[in-house]
Amino acid sequence: MEGDWGRGKSTIVNLLCARLAKNEDFLVVVFDAWAHQGDPLRRTFLERAINAAIAKGWIDKAKWVKRLEELRHRRKRSRTVETPALTYFAKWFAASLFISTLGFGLFLTGLTEKLDWAIIAGAVATASPLYVLFWKGIGLFREPGQSAKDDDKSGWALFVAKTVSETVSETSDTPDPTSVEFQDIFTDVMNEALAHPKRRVVLVLDNLDRVDAKDALAMWSTMQTFVQHSGGADPTWFPRLWVLLPYDRKSVLRLWQEEAAGSRGTSFLDKSISVRFEVPLPVLSDWQAYLGALLGEALPVHDAGEFHAAYQVYALYTANAGHRPAPRDLKLYVNMIGALHRQWHDEIPLGDLAYYSLLWRDQHDVADALVSERIPEDPLRGIVSDEIIDHLAMLVFNVEVERARELLLTDSIRAAFAAGDGEKLRSIAQSNDRGFWPVLEGMVGGDQLEWASTVGIAKAAVSFRDSQLLEMDLPAARMVRSQFSASFKLVTDWTPMDSEIQSGIIAALEMYRGQDDIARRVLQGLGSTPPAGPVDAGKWVAVFVEVARTLSGQGKRIDSLVEAVAVPGDANMFFEVCQELGTRDPNGELWRLLQATAAPENLVAPIEALIPNGQMNGRAAGGLQVMAAAGVSASWDPVVQAI
């Protein structure tokens, strides 16, 4: 029985079993290979077949129960009993204790009777355990054949040679019968079970295409016992034995994929299977009725109109893909709808729950699709409710509608800021006119955007400028503009001074062109000392020159905003900045605006080091000119002396 996954092969098996159960002359043995994956397959199958035949009363119960026990566990049971044994040393030590007791008595008698010989003899005898311990120490007491290296240094081992206990062990000789043994046992079962000429046996090997390749191939080879009897003429019962194999062709062919693509699998199917029945997909009218029955069973208090909406959603959603549902597809669909309905009850219509179920099944990013207005698709707009956007957001975040709107927009706005994408930010605002501004106002005012990150606030500035949202004549837009301005002015260090930072600074200067405090704060931030991280002189000068150009285009002079622009870093950094600025600003308009943060006595050291090595080239000479124009208050005598 061939059919794709979920087409209802197992359902047909169940229908067959129910039909044949009414006939006393039929025995159906269903073996689920998936349920027994990892077990010894031949033995497990025989157990299943024998138990089914016993239950039917077709074979002798006592005989086959005993045979089953032999088949299940051919075990060997062994029992070993050992008793403690004293060592050679322990025997001598025990004897010395006995002599010591007698000697102590003789010693006391000698003291009482004043007998010198008794005192001496008693003392010698009393100390006899010490002599034995001494002799043990020098190696005189060893078991026969024992060498010094065999001595056990543990305390009790001096006295007990073996600690013995009773042990019982079991081992299994053969966990699974061989193919020959399997065929012999199976033949014996069938000889007895099918002794009556009217009896029939149907063997069903289900879910064989779901187990591991190794187990599946082993079971396929075992199946030959049923379909191709060997050993001479077929038994008389052989025509009354059928094997039913439900399988998915693609899964079976995958078993041979590593060996010889699909050709070997196809050959195996052709050789092993005589008759094939295809399990087709249901026609449209059939699956519509089937879906309605499933929905009626899962949601009994709902009417047919709501069920029809769930049917229409499924039909239109899958129409573009040319997909026809299998019974299992519909069961999973209904189960998902039921699970969601038990969470939300009647707050969300079944049609909307059905649509979300399909989106979730196909692993769509529903939140992103809502923001970008990719869903719902046009064919479905007339079927789902007018509140489908809110309902999908509620389902995605599992919260009530107001909170769902906030979370949906928060993630989308944050993503637009992170990308510096003003067009996306404007699109979000236009698509969500009811909730966008309250959510944005809460994010900017509530520091949900982590403005402490210079890169983050720079990208946000670019997003705001390109979207032109803050130019709108709305109270909320004015509030957000003011909140963002306050956040922007809190930045004290523009490290790492890269192109993203530059773009963000220029965007803020363009948005707030009438606010000198923004420009002043930017210029002060360029000279943060010490900087939060390493600063590249070339990048710093690029940002400085672009800021100066932007302010000049707005009719502003830097020296009217700040006395000078501090250059962060040490003397080497300052000289590198001077050289770079000499190249980028050959007219010297910005030279006098630089101010070194390094100690004045150190500023000429980088120049002094270049001269003796012949490295005082044109670029370096230009840097020296910039330093002079910047009014560096340092003694130039070391430079003159070096020259």
pLDDT-derived band at 475 (thresholds 50, 70, 90) equals very high
Fold of 9-74+177-272: Rossmann fold (3.40.50)
Give the per-residue pLDDT at 542. Answer: 94
Give the per-residue pLDDT at 612. Answer: 83
Q: Which residue is it, tokens 């979730």?
A: 360
Give the per-residue pLDDT at 560. Answer: 92
Alpha helices (runs of H) in 207-248, residue ranges in sequence order: 213-227
Provide the edge-to-edge strand list for the sheet that holds 200-206.
Answer: 26-32, 200-206, 241-244
**Between the ranges 273-287, 419-433, 457-471, where is the mean pLDDT highest?**
457-471
Please answer whether residues 315 and 358 qualify as being in contact, where contact means their C-beta atoms are separated by less than 8 angstroms. no
Number of C-alpha atoms within 13 angstroms, CB side, residue 410? 17
Strands 565-567 and 241-244: unpaired
Helix/strand/coil (H/E/C) assignment for every residue in 96-143: HHHHHHHHHHHHHHHHHHCCHHHHHHHHHHHCHHHHHHHHHHCCCCCC
Give the per-residue pLDDT at 113. Answer: 80
pLDDT-derived band at 105 (thresholds 50, 70, 90) equals confident
Q: What is the dihedral of CA 24, 26, 27, 31, to 10 degrees?
A: -140
- Lowest mean pLDDT, pick from 25-34, 266-275, 603-612: 266-275
* Residue 627 three-state SS: helix
**Of 299, 448, 319, which Cα lies nearest the Cα of 378?**
319
**Of 222, 176, 139, 137, which Cα lies nearest the Cα of 38?**
176
Give the per-residue pLDDT at 189. Answer: 92
Give the per-residue pLDDT at 148. Answer: 55
Query: Can you tell me the mean pLDDT for 191-213?
Result: 87
Number of C-alpha atoms within 13 angstroms, CB side, residue 205? 28
**Between the ranges 21-25, 211-215, 451-455, 635-639, where is the mean pLDDT highest?**
21-25
Residue 165 burial class via C-beta count within 10 angstroms: exposed 0-12, middle 13-18, buried 19 and up:
exposed
Distance from CA of residue 397 to its chain's centroid? 21
As a whole number of angstroms, the distance between CA 405 and CA 393 comes to 7
As a whole number of angstroms, the distance between CA 389 and CA 595 comes to 57
- Lowest mean pLDDT, pick from 480-484, 491-495, 602-606: 491-495
pLDDT score of 453 more than 80 = no
- DSSP strands (E only) in 232-359: 241-244
> 72 or 229, which is more confident?
72
Give the per-residue pLDDT at 150. Answer: 52
Tell me the pLDDT tens digit for each residue of 499-551.
999 999 999 999 999 899 999 999 998 987 676 678 899 999 999 999 999 99
Bridge partners of 596? 567
Bridge partners of 624? none
Residue 322, phi-psi category: left (phi > 0), alpha (psi -120 to 50), beta (remainder) = left
> 42 or 311, which is more confident?
311
For the chain, the structural domain boundaries read 9-74+177-272, 85-165, 284-398, 492-643
As a whole number of angstroms, the distance between CA 301 and CA 642 comes to 99
Q: Which residue is it, tokens 């000289």?
A: 575
Token couple for 575: 């000289």
- Rounded to a whole number, what is the distance in angstroms from the first to the last CA of the chain? 98
pLDDT-derived band at 285 (thresholds 50, 70, 90) equals low
Tell me the pLDDT tens digit for each residue of 551-576.
999 999 999 999 999 999 899 999 99
CA angle 552, 553, 554 (to 5 degrees): 90
* Residue 464 three-state SS: helix
Please answer whether residues 595 and 565 qualify as being in contact, where contact means their C-beta atoms are separated by less than 8 angstroms. yes
Tell me the pLDDT tens digit for each residue of 135-191.
777 766 565 555 555 555 444 455 555 555 555 555 555 556 777 788 888 889 999
Query: Can you tell me the mean pLDDT for 280-303?
Result: 84
Please answer whether residues 531 and 569 qualify as being in contact, where contact means their C-beta atoms are separated by less than 8 angstroms. yes
Bridge partners of 243? 203
Q: Which residue is it, tokens 């010395």?
A: 96
Instruction: Tell me how long the chain is.
Output: 643
Mean residue pLDDT across the chain:
83
pLDDT score of 75 more than 60 = no
Bridge partners of 159? none
